[in-house]
Structure formats: structure tokens, C-alpha cells
Chain A
Amino acid sequence: MATSAAQTRVPAAGLEGRGLEVRYGDAVALAAIDLRVGPGEVVAVLGPSGSGKSTLLRAVAGLEPLAAGTVTWAGEDLRRVPPHRRRFGLMFQDHALFPHRDVAGNVAFGLRVQGLPAAEIRARTEAGLAAVGLAGFGARSVRELSGGEQQRVALARALAPGPRLLMLDEPLGALDRALREHLVDELRALFARRERAVLLVTHDHEEAFALADRVLVLHAGRVEQDDDAATVWSRPASPFVARFLGYNVTTAFGAPVAVRPDGLVWSAAPGPGTVAVTVVDRTFRRDHFRIRVATATGETLDVAVREVGAPAAPAPGTPGTLALAPGAAVALP
């Protein structure tokens, strides 16, 4: 199901995982995963919880033993390279800040491990904190920080030693909406400033598309789709990906297709090529109404209704018809 389009574009340098497999006893957590992240490239692994996203990061980091497959960097096999010598950075979902060190102590940890001179450590720690908007926070205890501040300290800590690959586990996970939107911009700027490979995992597709050049959709430990972000968004490769991205998957118009709620046109009047439906639910979204309709065969579909002038959307129980907007349907295998 993975398309080959992306693989030809990716440079050979950087991270490459082939046939990665992770098992917990008899349970297969990851199976046959192929993965590439080139220098300067931002790749998002997208999937629902339990799909194996974090396990994939841990396997690449060397924290999770591989049952099969190889991880290489620029062609070098990392099998015998322990996590601390891979020069990869990992930002944990729960931040995992060291509670017995202050903010500066956390950020400086990787630099101290490298044995750098004290003056350079201090300078780079301050610069790192300034880069995430926490200048002057160095002496604070990490236990006093808010969730967003902890997030930034964790990011500064992971960036400080200059990893060649930066991995982020749900980087915006538990933050509120406003803070998330703000941080998305900051992260993009941070990623763009350096020629660094970035691999992030998220369950939020808006986050994935906002941050990543390429998106890899994971489902039950397997890759469902691996394409550039725009392609994944406009051409979901499987019913699972389509549903996960909010598409309707339907056979109401003949062959199975995926169609977004705004690719369906609701009408109270019958017309050629339409399907008879009944409205079963109606909710208000910020700038439009979303109605749920049922077809005669029992399928339910979500439809966006954005007519000028209220009350635009029909109430539950209203009969009507649905049509496909031109070019809106995506053929599914």
C-alpha cells in the first residue's frame, strides 16, 4: 500500500530503516516498516494511539530491541551502536525532565556529557534557552514550570548537543489549542533554521501536515501510506487513511471512493446523479454546519453545508439528495 513515489525523491544520506520489526513476546508491535529521513527533511509518523508510533521512535533510537530489520545512518549500520553514541535526539511525550536538576542543568546535560569546556556549555545553554523563548529561566526548578514551559525545556535539551536526527514524540501533545498553534510556528522555524533531519510522531493530522514535508501513516504496526504531505492529504491510499483523515468512505455513488465532507453537495430537491438521503444529525462548526445523513442502504455520511444566510442547514428528519462535487472523489483500492 505504500506508494513508491516518495522513495525515489529521498536522498540516500540520512536515516534509513528497512524491514523494522519489534515484538513484545508474541505480540507484533511493528512489522516490516521501511522509513527514510534525509538531512533537512521533516517526516511525521501519523497514526491513532496504539498504532506503534512511539515504538518506532524508540526502535530508531536503539531503546527498543529490533526483532528484525536494520537502521542505518548514511549507510552505516547502527545495530551495534548503543543509543548514546547514535547522536540522535529524542524528546519524550512526558518530557522526562530530570527533577533533581534546574532548567539550565537539564539543557546542559548533553553538553556536559560531551565534556565541553564550562564556558562553552554555559553559552550554548543560554543560547538554547533563548531559542525556545526561555531566556533567563536557567535557575528555575523544572517542577515549577507550566506544561508549555516544560515542553520548551525538553526541546532545548534535545537540541543542545546538536543531534543529527531530532525525534519528537507528540511534541504538542498535551498543550491547549492556542499554545499549540503558536508552537507549531516556532517548531517550523526551528526546523527550517538547521540542516537537520526531523522525525516526529503525532496522532493529530493537522499537526502532522503543519509541520512535516512527508507523512507516514501507521496503522496497527504497519505502514498504510508514505508520501509527501500534500499527497497524503489529497490522495489517501487506503480506506483506513481516508477515514483517519476525516474522509467519508462510501459506495453510495458506485465504486468505493473517499470524499471529504465539503466534497458532498446537499440539496433538498432531486436531480440527476444524486443519491436520496435523510438528515439524522446536525452540528455547528465555527464557519459552517456539519450534517450527518443516512442513505437508503444504511450508510452514514458527513456533509459540510456552507450556504450564505441562515438557517442554512436542514434539521434532522429532512429528506433530500446528495451529489459529488466535481473532482472531489478519490478512488480507493
Chain B
Amino acid sequence: MTPTVRARLGTVVAAAVPVGFVAVLFGYPVAAIIGRGLAPDGTLDPEPLRRVFTDPALRGVVWFTVWQAALSTLCTLVLALPGAYVLARLRFPGRSLVRALVTVPFALPTVLVANAFLAVGVPRSLGAVLLAHVFFNYAVVVRVVGMRWRNLDPHEAEAARMLGASRWRVAREVTAPALRPAVVAAATITFLFCFTSFGVILFLGGPTRATLETEIYRQTTRFLDLPLAAALSVVQLAAVLALLWLVGRSERRAAVPARLRAAREVEHAPHTPGEWVLLTANLLVMTALLLVPMAVLVVRSLTPPSGFGFDAYRALGELRRGSTLFVPPLEAVGTSLRYALAAAAIAVVVGGLAAWAGARSRSRWLDGFLAVPLGVSAVTLGFGFLIALDEGALDLRGSAVLVPLAQALVALPFVVLLVGPVLRSIDPRLREAAAMLGASPAAVRRRIDLPIAARALFAAGAFAVAIALGEFGATTFVVRPDAPTLPVVIARLLGQPGEAAFHAAMAASGILMVLVVVAVVVGDRARVGRFGEF
């Protein structure tokens, strides 16, 4: 084998692991449930698919799914883009804390957030859905676009100014084109999340509003109409694939890789009145939109009927009579952490290999492929797990392995987003220099790639922990009743009647939030500079 062939083989093997992982844990279960629904006796029955597009009610569901996602994405961009600028370019005390706090909502389970919104007094409505979608995806825009914004060459905007362009014209003609790939990426992720949104629609949308995702859930659990549910899943999956394909096509002219810039070069303290207004306004938006709902949860958890204090937290240690839980809620903390750490380890290994393989090839199809699970119904996936993973070596039902595997699947695209750019940024001359000093290709990987990637992998792992901690949709289907995770416990507690259960749910939410904050802060601290695309 020539060295080139061997290097290519290495890349292929590295890519095969994540591809196989996604194929077995995502492709196979989803295919199985769709197959069972659409071709129950081996031949394709197109009737359910036809119904999706001919039944006026179902057509309404499809249409609502699309426009609420588009509107949510638009609202998120409008509110979060100024925030991205403020956090990327202005220097002010407490900024890194703000940056960490705005990331927390992203990892919180929907049940919890929906309740926080209801607790603040937001009525069930379209407005509540939009607000909640902004709450969840604000961080996506701030992080993805902010990273790009931060590393834009400030001289380009200044050069345009010197050529006579007004601030507005510079924003339109210089800054906007440079930010476009990041805005498109953030908008795509946001749209996918809103398109497949489940908990937010179910809890905040009110009884008349349904999206594909909630309809799949309703048809499966309420009417046991598996063929129709499968048809809806197919439509959803096709829409997601079409979107990813379109985005990939329009963004093929890949962006110029951003050079990492020194803080002093790109950041400044606000000095004009306009910048102070911008900073203040954005901090107010972040506070009202993101911090208030979280604060309400904490306050509620500290004010049980017995008076201000930690009683609700203490009560988590015991199994109440009549509870639908089989274990004291506090046990869920340990369970959640064990699962999340295992999920993060899996996601880091698989995602790290994907990032490494992706960095060595110019095309980014692997990134797109790994993003597909983001856009697929957690309900479909959960049922797919139950149906598909029940035979032979894949009989994982009831196995504790299934939970971290499902969570790793959800965290995987973010690991790739965080690690890929770091690996891509390694100057090829570093590798050449190492080779000239006598390092074999394996030694180059071990002594150059790995140390540089190690911090990024660690940071990605911490984010994976945060995401896994908050994962609800897929986890709820595969978790064992005697070992629930925190979001599952919160959902169950919220489903129980009584003040005590409600405050217990708030206390569990408080613990979950603290864990997520710690994971996000640890992850942000460990980043290599401010590299990465998330």
C-alpha cells in the first residue's frame, strides 16, 4: 500500500464509524417504522401518503408546521442577531457569564420550559409557541453567527467606510455577505428544531394547533393509526432532507475559513451612545426572554407551600405515596449524570472520528448526513427503537445502553460542529514540519492532531453532556421505568396532581439547570480560543 492509499483508507475507516453509527441507530429504526406503517404486508400501500395531502385537516397540519417554523426562525433571527453582535464584538463586565447563561435554554427540556412560560403567565397561543422557539434557539444564532462575526476582518468594514459607504451600506454590502454562511447555518438548525418541535407545540400551542410531530404522536398513541403516522414521518423526513440538500447546494461555495483574531483586534468597549443603547436593549431582551423564565423556575422551587426554603429539594429524596415514579426523584440526578457522561463519551469518540474524516476531505456531506437526525421526529425515532432493536445482537430493549446511544445521536452533530473547524484549522505545514522531523503519519496524528483537538474534544464533550442531560424526546421512549432521567422525572411530576408534585418538578428543574450551566461553563472554558462553529 502506498502512503496515499493508506491515508485514504484511514479516512474511509474513520468516516465509516459515524456513518455506521447513524445508519444502525437512526436509519434502521426509522426505516423499520416507516416500512411497518407503509408496507405492513410487504407491498407499498400509498393510501396513507395520499391522505396526508388530500385530507384538509392533515394538509392544514403540514402547512402550519411549515409556516410556524419559518416564522419562529424569522423571530429568532431578528431578536438574536443583534445579540450575536453584542456578545461577539462589545466588551462589558460579566460577558462570559451572559454568554453561558444564554446557552442554557438550548439544553433545557421542553416540558420544563413550557411550564416556565405558563408559570410566568403566558397564555397557550401561537405567540407562546413563537416565544418558546426563540427561547430555545436564541443560543444557536448567538453562537453560530457570533463565532463568525467575531472572526470577521474588521478592516474590510473600515475599508468600505473609507470608500464612502455609510454604516448601513457597509452592513448590507460587506458584513452581510460575509456573515451569510453562518446565518444560513444557524437558520437551518433553528428551522429544523422548530419544524420538528414537539413539547412546545403540545404544551403551549393549545388544543387546536398541531404540527407533523404532534400529529405523529397523536396518531400513534391515541388512534393507533400506524400507517398514517408512518406516512407523516415520511413527509417530515422528506422535507428535512430536501431542506438540507437545498442548503448544501446553495452554500457549496464554502465560506472563506475565518482566521482566528485577537480579542483586542475585534472587540471594544461600547463608546458611542448608539452602542450603549444597543448593549442595554439586548441585555434587556436576553433578561426578559431567557433569564426571567429560568429565574421563575428557581423561585418557584424555593417557595413551596411550606414557605421559602429548600423543602421542595429535600422532598426529592423520598418516594411519595401515590407517585407514578418507582424511585425517589433524587436518584434521577445520578442516573442522568451517568447516562449523560456515557452519551458524551460515545458522541465524542464517534463525532471526533467524523470531524477528523471531514477535515481531511473537502466535501461536507458527512456533516449534513449527521445533521439529519436533528430533523426527524423523536417520536418516530423512539418507536423505531422499540420496533427495530428487538432482534439478535440488536436486541437492546430494556438495556441501559439504549439511553446514552439515543442521547449521543442527538449530541453528535454539535460535537462535529465544535471539533471539525479546529481540526480543519490545523496548518498543514505543522504536519509537514512534524513529518520532516521524523514523525510517522501515526505519530503526527498522535502528537499534532490529538493534542490540538483534545481541548476541542473536551469542550464538545461538555456540551454533549449538557445536551444529553436535557434530552427528552427520544429518552422518554427508551428509558427504563426504574431508572428515569431528570427530564423524565420532571415530566412525570408535572403530570401528577397537587402543589407538592409541582414544586418537586420545579426543584428537579432547578437541579437540572444547575447541572446544565456547569456543563456549559466547563465547555466554554475549555474551548480553543473561540474556535468552532457553535
Give the B-binding residues of A (Cβ under 8 A): 58, 61, 63, 65, 82-85, 87-90, 92, 94, 96-100, 109-110, 113-114, 143, 157-158, 160-161
Residues of the B chain whose Cβ atoms lie less than 8 Å from the Cβ of A89? 162-163
User: Which of B150-158, B321-329, B492-500 lies at the interface?
Assistant: B150-158
- The docked-state distance in angstroms from the alpha carbon of A94 to that of B261 is 13
- The docked-state distance in angstroms from the alpha carbon of A98 to that of B167 is 16
Q: Name the residue on A nearest B170 (C-beta).
A: A84
Given A100-B178, A110-B164, the answer on whether A90 and B169 have CB atoms closer than 8 Å is: no
> Is the beta-carbon distance between B161 and A63 smaller than 8 angstroms?
yes
The minimal Cβ–Cβ distance linking B153 to chain A, given in whole angstroms, is: 6
The minimal Cβ–Cβ distance linking B435 to chain A, given in whole angstroms, is: 27
Given A100-B178, A113-B169, the answer on whether A94 and B164 have CB atoms closer than 8 Å is: no
Q: Name the residue on B nearest A90 (C-beta).
A: B162
Additional pairs, 9, CB under 8 Å, beyond known A109-B173, A143-B256: A83-B162, A87-B164, A96-B153, A98-B159, A100-B178, A109-B163, A110-B165, A113-B165, A161-B164
Residues of the B chain whose Cβ atoms lie less than 8 Å from the Cβ of A160? 163
Residues of the B chain whose Cβ atoms lie less than 8 Å from the Cβ of A82? 161, 166-167
Q: Which of B153, B162, B178, B271 contacts A84 (CB 8 A)?
A: B162
- The docked-state distance in angstroms from the alpha carbon of A63 to that of B169 is 16
Residues of the B chain whose Cβ atoms lie less than 8 Å from the Cβ of A157? 159, 163
Question: Cβ of B174 < 8 Å from any Cβ of A?
Answer: yes
Q: Name the residue on A nearest B264 (C-beta).
A: A24
> Is the beta-carbon distance between B164 and A61 smaller than 8 angstroms?
no
> Is the beta-carbon distance between A98 and B174 smaller than 8 angstroms?
yes
Please name 23 pairs of A and B residues whose Cβ atoms are closer than 8 Å in the assembled complex, sorted by A: A61-B162, A63-B162, A83-B162, A84-B161, A84-B162, A84-B164, A85-B164, A90-B159, A92-B158, A94-B155, A96-B153, A96-B155, A96-B158, A96-B159, A97-B156, A98-B156, A98-B159, A109-B173, A110-B163, A110-B164, A113-B163, A157-B163, A161-B164
- The docked-state distance in angstroms from the alpha carbon of A98 to that of B174 is 7
Question: Cβ of B177 < 8 Å from any Cβ of A?
Answer: yes
Question: Cβ of B118 < 8 Å from any Cβ of A?
Answer: no
B40-65 vs A, Cβ < 8 Å mask (1 yes, 0 no): 00000000000000000000000000
- The docked-state distance in angstroms from the alpha carbon of A140 to that of B163 is 21
The minimal Cβ–Cβ distance linking A116 to chain B, given in whole angstroms, is: 11
The minimal Cβ–Cβ distance linking B182 to chain A, given in whole angstroms, is: 14
> Is the beta-carbon distance between A109 and B178 smaller than 8 angstroms?
no
- The docked-state distance in angstroms from the alpha carbon of A90 to that of B161 is 10
The minimal Cβ–Cβ distance linking B288 to chain A, given in whole angstroms, is: 31
Q: Which among A92, A100, A114 has the greatest number of chain B C-beta atoms within 10 A? A: A100
> Is the beta-carbon distance between A65 and B174 smaller than 8 angstroms?
no
> Is the beta-carbon distance between A114 and B164 smaller than 8 angstroms?
yes
Question: Cβ of B349 < 8 Å from any Cβ of A?
Answer: no
Q: Which among A82, A90, A96 has the greatest number of chain B C-beta atoms within 10 A? A: A96
Q: Which of B159, B165, B177, B178 contacts A92 (CB 8 A)?
A: B159
The minimal Cβ–Cβ distance linking B476 to chain A, given in whole angstroms, is: 45
Q: Which of A83, A99, A100, A113 contacts B158 (CB 8 A)?
A: A83
> Is the beta-carbon distance between B174 and A158 smaller than 8 angstroms?
no
Residues of the A chain whose Cβ atoms lie less than 8 Å from the Cβ of B162? 61, 63, 83-84, 88-90, 158
- The docked-state distance in angstroms from the alpha carbon of A97 to that of B174 is 10
Q: Name the residue on B nearest A154 (C-beta).
A: B159
Which residues of chain B (123-175) have a CB below 8 Å from chain A? 153, 155-156, 158-167, 169, 173-174
The minimal Cβ–Cβ distance linking A142 to chain B, given in whole angstroms, is: 10
Residues of the A chain whose Cβ atoms lie less than 8 Å from the Cβ of B173? 109
Given A88-B162, A109-B160, A143-B256, the answer on whether A65 and B271 have CB atoms closer than 8 Å is: yes
> Is the beta-carbon distance between B271 and A90 smaller than 8 angstroms?
no
Residues of the B chain whose Cβ atoms lie less than 8 Å from the Cβ of A87? 164
Given A98-B174, A100-B177, the answer on whether A84 and B166 have CB atoms closer than 8 Å is: yes
The minimal Cβ–Cβ distance linking B256 to chain A, given in whole angstroms, is: 5
- The docked-state distance in angstroms from the alpha carbon of A33 to that of B166 is 28
Q: Name the residue on B nearest A163 (C-beta).
A: B162
- The docked-state distance in angstroms from the alpha carbon of A58 to that of B155 is 11
- The docked-state distance in angstroms from the alpha carbon of A88 to that of B158 is 12
- The docked-state distance in angstroms from the alpha carbon of A190 to that of B169 is 30
Q: Name the residue on A nearest B156 (C-beta).
A: A96
Residues of the A chain whose Cβ atoms lie less than 8 Å from the Cβ of B256? 99, 143
The minimal Cβ–Cβ distance linking B175 to chain A, given in whole angstroms, is: 11
Given A92-B155, A109-B160, the answer on whether A84 and B165 have CB atoms closer than 8 Å is: yes
Q: Name the residue on A nearest B164 (C-beta).
A: A113
The minimal Cβ–Cβ distance linking B164 to chain A, given in whole angstroms, is: 4
Residues of the A chain whose Cβ atoms lie less than 8 Å from the Cβ of B161? 63, 82-84
The minimal Cβ–Cβ distance linking B90 to chain A, given in whole angstroms, is: 15
Residues of the B chain whose Cβ atoms lie less than 8 Å from the Cβ of A65? 271
Residues of the A chain whose Cβ atoms lie less than 8 Å from the Cβ of B178? 99-100
Residues of the A chain whose Cβ atoms lie less than 8 Å from the Cβ of B169? 113
> Is the beta-carbon distance between A109 and B271 smaller than 8 angstroms?
no
Q: Name the residue on B nearest A114 (C-beta).
A: B164
Q: Name the residue on B nearest A93 (C-beta).
A: B155
Residues of the B chain whose Cβ atoms lie less than 8 Å from the Cβ of A109? 160, 163, 165, 173
- The docked-state distance in angstroms from the alpha carbon of A65 to that of B273 is 13
The minimal Cβ–Cβ distance linking B498 to chain A, given in whole angstroms, is: 57
Residues of the B chain whose Cβ atoms lie less than 8 Å from the Cβ of A96? 153, 155-156, 158-159
Q: Name the residue on B nearest A92 (C-beta).
A: B155
Residues of the A chain whose Cβ atoms lie less than 8 Å from the Cβ of B174? 98
B252-294 vs A, Cβ < 8 Å mask (1 yes, 0 no): 0000100000000000000100000000000000000000000
- The docked-state distance in angstroms from the alpha carbon of A84 to that of B156 is 13
- The docked-state distance in angstroms from the alpha carbon of A189 to that of B169 is 33
Q: Name the residue on A nearest B271 (C-beta).
A: A65
Q: Name the residue on B nearest A96 (C-beta).
A: B155
Residues of the B chain whose Cβ atoms lie less than 8 Å from the Cβ of A99? 156, 178, 256
B442-469 vs A, Cβ < 8 Å mask (1 yes, 0 no): 0000000000000000000000000000
Residues of the A chain whose Cβ atoms lie less than 8 Å from the Cβ of B165? 84, 109-110, 113
The minimal Cβ–Cβ distance linking B303 to chain A, given in whole angstroms, is: 44
Q: Which among B155, B167, B169 has the greatest number of chain A C-beta atoms within 10 A? A: B155
Q: Name the residue on B nearest A89 (C-beta).
A: B162
> Is the beta-carbon distance between A161 and B163 smaller than 8 angstroms?
yes
- The docked-state distance in angstroms from the alpha carbon of A117 to that of B11 is 53
Residues of the B chain whose Cβ atoms lie less than 8 Å from the Cβ of A92? 155, 158-159
> Is the beta-carbon distance between A98 and B160 smaller than 8 angstroms?
yes
- The docked-state distance in angstroms from the alpha carbon of A173 to that of B169 is 30
- The docked-state distance in angstroms from the alpha carbon of A58 to that of B173 is 22
The minimal Cβ–Cβ distance linking A125 to chain B, given in whole angstroms, is: 13
- The docked-state distance in angstroms from the alpha carbon of A32 to that of B365 is 58
Which residues of chain B (164-206) have a CB below 8 Å from chain A? 164-167, 169, 173-174, 177-178
The minimal Cβ–Cβ distance linking B424 to chain A, given in whole angstroms, is: 17
B302-346 vs A, Cβ < 8 Å mask (1 yes, 0 no): 000000000000000000000000000000000000000000000
- The docked-state distance in angstroms from the alpha carbon of A161 to that of B165 is 11
Q: Name the residue on A nearest B169 (C-beta).
A: A113
7 nearest interchain CB pairs? Answer: A110-B163, A96-B155, A96-B159, A90-B162, A113-B164, A83-B161, A100-B177
Residues of the A chain whose Cβ atoms lie less than 8 Å from the Cβ of B163? 84, 89, 109-110, 113, 157-158, 160-161
Q: Name the residue on A nearest B160 (C-beta).
A: A109
Residues of the A chain whose Cβ atoms lie less than 8 Å from the Cβ of B164? 84-85, 87, 110, 113-114, 161
- The docked-state distance in angstroms from the alpha carbon of A151 to that of B136 is 46
